[in-house]
């Protein structure tokens, strides 16, 4: 797993770890029972035709293997539902708002912060040009340690906004449905790759972008310069 750079990603990571530990523990018990049955209840040489004791319609066993899986599924459901509720929460109060347009085949990021707007336009992929001029696609700049709200739009087909370091992706739907999500970035500056995770046409694989996390002061300067150049 990539190292998470949002508070939400830490939750995703711990849910993932917990699920794997639980699944492995279950696996060890099941594999143990299978091996035990293979070793101790196989056909013996000296009693070739004798069947082992049959346990059909054994009520305690039936109840056991109905109740135990229900408990296990309930536990998975509880933790998944609890964490998902937190991860999907959009408060509407995030200081930084990003409108994402995913289109065939690039991204446009419109960042709003304190009444200022910065726009980063991905050059629609030109088969010959993109790999030379802008191999990484557009770059979204965000402050560290800040809440950021994303709103996802598409003018054409379904895309999927994915930053592996967020341990999160969300589909980008054309039309009236606008998916939203919110993150709280950690204090971990850096550049993180992003891509489209929904096969969306011939240049789907070139819908690359990156997210750059910078300290708040640097972000202020960035927004200032972007807003200035736009005017």
- Binding site residues, Cu ion, CB under 5 A: 159, 196, 200, 207
Closer residue to Cu ion in complex, CB, 5/200? 200
How far apart are CB 183 and Cu ion at their closest, in Å? Answer: 20
Closer residue to Cu ion in complex, CB, 83/203? 203
How far apart are CB 145 and Cu ion at their closest, in Å? Answer: 30
Closer residue to Cu ion in complex, CB, 105/113? 105
Closer residue to Cu ion in complex, CB, 100/200? 200
Closer residue to Cu ion in complex, CB, 173/219? 173
How far apart are CB 161 and Cu ion at their closest, in Å? Answer: 9
How far apart are CB 76 and Cu ion at their closest, in Å? Answer: 31
User: How far out from the chain centre does Cα 112 lie?
Assistant: 24
CA distances (Å), 219 to each of 30, 45, 46, 118, 215, in order?
A: 53, 78, 80, 11, 6
> What separation, in Å, do the N-terminal and C-terminal C-alpha atoms of the chain show?
42
* H or E element in which residue 192 lies: strand 190-196
How far apart are CB 138 and Cu ion at their closest, in Å? Answer: 13
Question: With DSSP H G I counted as helix, E B as strand and the rest as coil, what are the percentages for the chain, rounded to 5?
Answer: 40, 30, 30
Q: Residue 11 and residue 2: Cα distance in Å, rounded?
A: 14
């Amino acid at each position: 797993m990539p190292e998470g750079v949002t508070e939400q990603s830490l939750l995703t990571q711990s849910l993932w770890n917990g699920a794997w530990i639980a699944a492995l523990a279950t696996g060890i018990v099941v594999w143990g029972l299978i091996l035990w049955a293979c070793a101790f209840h196989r056909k013996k040489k000296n009693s070739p035709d004798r069947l082992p004791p049959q346990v059909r319609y054994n009520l305690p066993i039936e109840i056991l293997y109905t109740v135990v899986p229900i408990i296990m599924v309930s536990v998975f459901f509880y933790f998944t539902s609890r964490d998902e509720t937190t991860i999907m929460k959009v408060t509407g109060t995030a200081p930084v708002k990003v409108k994402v347009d995913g289109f065939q085949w690039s991204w446009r990021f419109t960042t709003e912060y304190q009444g200022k707007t910065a726009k980063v336009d991905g050059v629609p992929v030109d088969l010959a040009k993109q790999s030379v001029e802008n191999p990484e696609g557009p770059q979204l700049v965000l402050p560290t340690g800040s809440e950021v709200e994303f709103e996802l739009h598409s003018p054409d087909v379904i895309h999927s906004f994915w930053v592996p370091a967020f341990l999160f992706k969300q589909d980008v739907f054309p039309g009236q449905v606008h998916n939203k999500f919110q993150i709280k970035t950690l204090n971990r500056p850096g550049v993180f790759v992003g891509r489209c995770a929904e096969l969306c046409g011939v240049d789907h694989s070139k819908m690359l972008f990156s997210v750059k996390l910078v300290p708040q002061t640097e972000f202020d300067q960035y927004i200032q310069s972007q807003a200035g150049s736009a005017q």
